Structure 1
Amino acid sequence: MRRVLILGGTAEARALAATLTNDPTLHVISSLAGRVTNPRLPEGEVRQGGFGGPDGLAAYIRDQAITAVIDATHPFAQQMTTSALQATTRTATPFLLLRRPPWHPTPTDNWHHADSLTAAATLLTTHNHTRAFLTTGRRSLPAFTPLTHLWFLARSVDPPNPPIPPNVQILLARGPYTVPGELSLMRTHRIDVLITKNSGGQMTTAKLTAARDLSLPVIMIDRPPPPPGVPYAETVEAASAWLRTGEAAAQTG
């Protein structure tokens, strides 16, 4: 029986685990980093907590006789991807990135691109915004709170670490979200700019539709590119095919 390790935490990781656990030739282990309280658990065996960097992950791969690793973490989990690539290279373990496609603007969108949280914060200083909707995760708050001329509505699954500046209101919520709900939220709080990461997927895309409907600008933080030469897939189906047929079933970064 082949033993497959899924580095998860995303909807795609859960869908992949559900698909693969139906295959009697596979034993699937899903690993969650443990950064989210009460995460949605995938089907099959689940491991929670970090590995201790690439050395720890490499040791786990050897100890558990893992035969393939699929990195289905968040598109911005760059440190985990780097560790996974190093660990699988050291252990000569087949490795695949599963990344949902990024969002793309429509002709009526008003996107301003940034390549980092710092660049996004700098963009905010060059425009006349006063009330921002921040959906970049609880760990990103320190990059924006020095902008005291702005009021922020910051949404995250778990609360950020205190102290919370007076110009920030925290909204704890978990997707999927709806367009009517996002429209109501932005109108109620008189939002005039949206800041988000290009994570892709359907669970949180409603905020982009709402911003478009309200003619609001969006500061879009672009995702990091995949490591060059690494096989990757954009769908659960393509990742499943990679396990059956090898790298030819996946794209290469």
Structure 2
Amino acid sequence: MRSPAHVLILGGTTEARHLAAALADRPDLHVTSSLAGRVARPGALPGDVRIGGFGGVEGLTAWLREHRVDALVDATHPFAEAISANAAEAAQAARVPLLTLRRPGWQAGPGDTWHSVASLAEAAALLPELGERIFLTTGRLGLSAFCGRELDSLHFLVRSVEPPEPPLPPHAQVVLDRGPFTVEGETALLREHAIDVLVTKDSGGAATAAKLVAARHLGLPVVVVRRPACPQGVPVAADAEAALEWLLTVAHRP
């Protein structure tokens, strides 16, 4: 009897969890999920789980070879650009098929006032002309971009899953919370803190999209940091179901 094909998922996202759950029920596929270890208490995952980095491209390449990985799925956060680049190089070096699993980005709709920017620094540069009370939902990293002297008069409400890394803006209040969020809850939060600008990354997905609807209802401008492009030449799946279809076509190839 042929041994199960080994699938390595670079995970941490909702889509990665859904895919791991789908693979765990298949006797022809063996799944290992790899988490970066940045979240102190990650939720339980089916299959094997490893925590921590690989040591760059060379380390990941060696792991793929040593553990006889038959297919690699990059299901990391849409803004984990360095990890995705490493995965593409390592997969090519180890001759392992690679798929990028990325949920679609958000799209502006009628009534939205969005400002699309390429970076956190570009987002920060726009703020003085947009408002004075800012809701920052860009995660716990990179907040130094909002610490410039020209922003010292602005007030920031910073929300992240875990305590953000310093430095923080001088007038910053931190809220620790994890989605999914509701439109009603987000609207109440924006009103309670008299927010007049929302800043977010285009992470996509439904779990944190309610803030965009709340901003639309309140007529607030939204600064959206565009996600980096996926590595060239790597196929992309939008959900776990499409990723599973791809895996079934490549994992058992000789």
Q: Under a length normalisation based on structure 2, what TM-score does the superposition of the two structures give?
A: 0.94
Q: Of 36, 39, 52, which residue of structure 1 is paired with 2:42?
A: 39
Q: Does 1:91 align with 2:99?
A: no
1:166 maps to a residue whose letter is: P
Structure 1 position 51 matched with structure 2 position 54: yes
The letter for the 2-side match of 1:6 is I
Q: Deviations over 1:126-182 (max 9, x none)?
A: x14100000001112111122212100000011023454431111100111111110
Distance 1:159 1:207 in 2: 20
CA distance in 2, matches of 1:195, 1:65: 42
Per the alignment, residue 18 of structure 1 pairs with: 21
1:4 counterpart = 2:7: yes
SS at match of 1:96: strand
Instruction: Work out whether 1:144 is the aligned partner of 2:163.
Output: no
Residue in structure 1 matched with residue 225 of structure 2 by the alignment: 221
Question: 1:14, 1:41 within 8 Å by CA — same for their partners in 2?
Answer: no
How far apart in 1 are the matches of 2:77 and 2:18? 14
After superposition, the C-alpha distances for 1:78-114 in whole angstroms (9 at most, x for unaligned) are 0000000010010000000000000000021000000
Q: Distance in 2 between matches of 1:26 and 1:110?
A: 45
My pick for the range that moved more, 138-147 or 71-80, is 138-147
Q: Structure 1 length normalisation: TM-score?
A: 0.94
User: Alpha-carbon deviation of 1:69?
Assistant: 0.3
CA contact (8 A) 1:33 1:50 kept: yes
User: Residue 8 of structure 1: CA displacement?
Assistant: 0.2
What does residue 200 of structure 1 align with?
A: 204
What is the rounded CA distance, in whole Å, between the counterparts of 2:127 and 2:236 in structure 1? 34
- Greater relative contact order structure (CA < 8 Å, 6+ sep): 2
One-letter identity of the residue aligned with 2:73: I
Alpha-carbon shift at residue 39 of structure 1 (Å): 1.6
Rounded Cα–Cα distance in structure 2 between residues aligned with 1:99 and 1:207:
21
* Residue number in structure 1 paired with 2:185: 181
* Structure 2 unmatched ranges of 5 or more: none
Give the partner amino acid of 1:75. Answer: P
Q: In structure 2, give the amino acid aligned to 1:156.
A: S
Contact 2:160 2:177 survives alignment (8 Å):
yes
